[in-house]
Amino acid sequence: MSGLVSSDALNKYFLLSVTLILSLCYSTLERRSTASPSVIVIGAGFAGIAAARALHDAAFQVILLESRDRIGGRVHTDYSFGFPVDLGYNGVCKDNPLAPVIGRLGLPLYRTSGDNSVLYDHDLESYALFDMEGNQVSQDLTDHIRQEFSEDMSIQRAISIVFERRPDLRLEGLGHKVLQWYLCRMEGCIGFCSSTCGRVASWWAWPNGPGYLPVVNTLAKGLDIRLGHRVTKIVRRYNGVKVTVEDGRTFLADAAVVAVPLGVLKSNCIKFEPRLPEWKESAINDLGVGIENKIILHFEKVFWPNVEFLGVVAETSYECSYFLNLHKATGHAVLVYMPAGQLARDIEKMSDEVAANFAFTQLKRILPNASAPIQYLVSHWGTDKNSLGSYSYDTVGKPHDLYERLRVPVDNLFFAGEATSTDYPGSVHGAYSTGLMAAEDCKMRVLERYGELDLFQPVMGEEVPISVPLLISRM
Ligand SMILES: Cc1cc2nc3c(=O)[nH]c(=O)nc-3n(C[C@H](O)[C@H](O)[C@H](O)COP(=O)(O)OP(=O)(O)OC[C@H]3O[C@@H](n4cnc5c(N)ncnc54)[C@H](O)[C@@H]3O)c2cc1C
C-alpha cells in the first residue's frame, strides 16, 4: 500500500538510525577525549616563548604569532662580527628564574664586580670616569660620594640627603659632573637596575661564547611559531578569541596570551574588540617606556683600561654616557656605547654610520689616542615598530599597581611581558616569569571553562574562509 511502510523496513530504519546516532555519539566522545584546549600566544620574546612552552608542555594546542622574522624580541644576538654580541639584553642575575635554564645549557657566567645595583653599591674599582677633556676622575671623590649613597634608598632621596648634610658637596665642577653621570646611568637602568638587580644580582651571564640565542632556541624548540605574523586585531567572546594578522588572515582559539611590548600596546596598533576595560587601558597609558640603545664598536685591539665601564661625565646628564667593556668578559676588543633617554632618542634619528661616529667621538674625548673601530652595530629599540621602547618604568606620581593591572587577565585574554612583572620589571627574567604566570592562569581558566562547554570542540588554527562552515568554532 502506498503511504504505508512494512515492519521489516521500519526495523531496518530503526537499526540504521540507532547505529548512526551511536556512531555520532562515539565520534563526539572520541573528539572530546582527544582534542585539547587551544591558545594563541602573541609575541615570541622571552615572555611569549615561556608561556607557549609551558602551555605546549601541558598538552595545549599552541600557536605563537610573531611579527618579526626571528624570535627572541629584545633579546637579539648578532653574529656579523664573527662572534656573538647582544644588541638588547646584557646579562642575567644568578638568583632569578632564568638562571637554571642558563645553567642547564652550560653557558659561561661572568661575575661582575658588585653584589648589588651598580647605582647604589658598586665596586668603583670597575669604573673609570673621565671628563670631556680626557682627565680621569680621582677615585677619592667617587668614593666620597659613594659613602653618602651607601644606604638602600631612592637616588633622589640620597642626593638631597648628601646636599643637606654636606653643603660643601653641593656639587660644582667635577663633582657636579659625576653626579650627572650617575643620573644618566640611572636613566639607562630605569625600571631595571633599581628594581631588579639592586636586590638579586651578584652574577651575570655575559655574551661570552654563544650569546643568548641558545637559550631562546632551547625554550622555543618544538613550538608552532609563525614568523612574520603581525597581529592587528584581537576579538574576544565568552567562548574564544579571534586574532587577525596584518594580511587579514584570522586564527581562532579558546584563549590568547598577549606578550607584545608595552610600547606596542601604547601605540594602539592592535585593536581590541570589545575595548579593554578602563583600568587596563589606564595602566597601559600610565606606565612609561624608556629607551636605551647599543652602539657596538669592534676594534682591532684593546687600548682602554681593564674596567667594566668607561663613563663620560659632563655638565648635564644628557651629555653623560658610558661604554661597556666587553673585552673584560668575552676577550673580544669590543666597547658598547649605551645612550639612554633623550640622547638615545636623538641618536635614533641618525644613520647608523653617523651614530657610530658619534659614539667614537665620545670615546676620543675620553681616550684621545683611541683608534677607529673596524666594525659597528647600532640598535634602534625606540623606533623599531616591534618594540617601540627598551623597557618599562613606573612614572612618578602614578598609582603603584600599574604593573599588576597590566598583568591581570581580561576574560580569556592573558597578559605577559616585562611590563607586567611586579617583581622584576624591565628585565628578561621578569618577562620569563610573567610568561609562566600567564600560562598557569590561562591553563586554570580554560580548563575550568572547558568542562562546562557544549559538545563542540574548540577549533584551533587558521580560519578557512569557506561558505559552508565545516569547522564549528565557539565564536
Ligand atoms: C639595550 C637593552 C639592554 C637590556 N639589558 C638587559 C639586561 O642586561 N638584563 C635584563 O634582564 N634585561 C635587559 N633588557 C630588557 C630585556 O631585554 C626585556 O625586558 C625583555 O627581553 C622583554 O621580553 P618580552 O618578552 O617582555 O618582550 P620582547 O622581547 O620585546 O618580545 C615581544 C615580542 O612581540 C613581538 N611583537 C610586537 N608586536 C607584535 C604584533 N603586533 N604581533 C605579533 N608579535 C608582535 C616582538 O617582535 C617581540 O618578539 C635590555 C633591553 C634593552 C633594549
Residue type, 58: A
The mean per-residue pLDDT over the stretch 346-361 comes to: 96
Enter the ipTM: 0.99
Q: Which of 118, 68, 104, 114 is closest to 88 using CA atoms?
A: 68
Nearest CA to ligand 1 atom 14: 89
Q: Which of 71, 22, 25, 70 is nearest to 46 (CA)?
A: 71
Band of residue 437 on the pLDDT scale cut at 50, 70, 90? very high
Domains and CATH numbers, the chain: 36-73+213-287+397-462 (3.50.50.60), 77-210+292-378 (3.90.660)
Beta strand residue intervals within 190-320, DSSP E: 225-226, 231-237, 240-245, 250-253, 255-258, 271-273, 287-290, 295-298, 309-312
In this predicted model, which residue has the larger pLDDT, 319 or 143? 319
Q: What is the pLDDT of residues 148-199, one digit of tens each?
A: 555 545 565 666 666 666 666 666 677 677 777 776 666 555 444 433 333 2
Residue 158 confidence (pLDDT): 61
What are the cell numbers at 354? 653617523
Q: How far is the CA of 261 from the centre of ligand 1 (A)?
A: 7
How far, in Å, is the centroid of ligand 1 from the Cα of 387? 7
First to last CA, the chain: 49
Ligand 1 center from residue 62 Cα (angstroms): 21
pLDDT digits (tens, 9 = 90+) for 388-412: 999 898 776 778 899 999 999 999 9
Q: Does residue 66 sit in helix, strand or coil?
A: coil
Q: What is the mean pLDDT of residues 74-82?
A: 90
Question: What is the chain's mean pLDDT, rounded?
Answer: 77
If pLDDT is split at 50, 70 and 90, which confidence band does 226 have? very high
- What is the torsional sign of CA 75, 90, 347, 306? negative
Which among 64, 74, 414 is the best mutation to test ligand 1's pocket, defined by most ligand atoms within 8 Å of the CB? Answer: 74
- Candidate from 260, 323, 434 with most ligand 1 atoms within 8 A of CB, to mutate: 260
Whether the predicted pLDDT of 31 surpasses 70? no
Q: For residue 74, report the distance from its CA to the centre of ligand 1, in Å.
A: 3
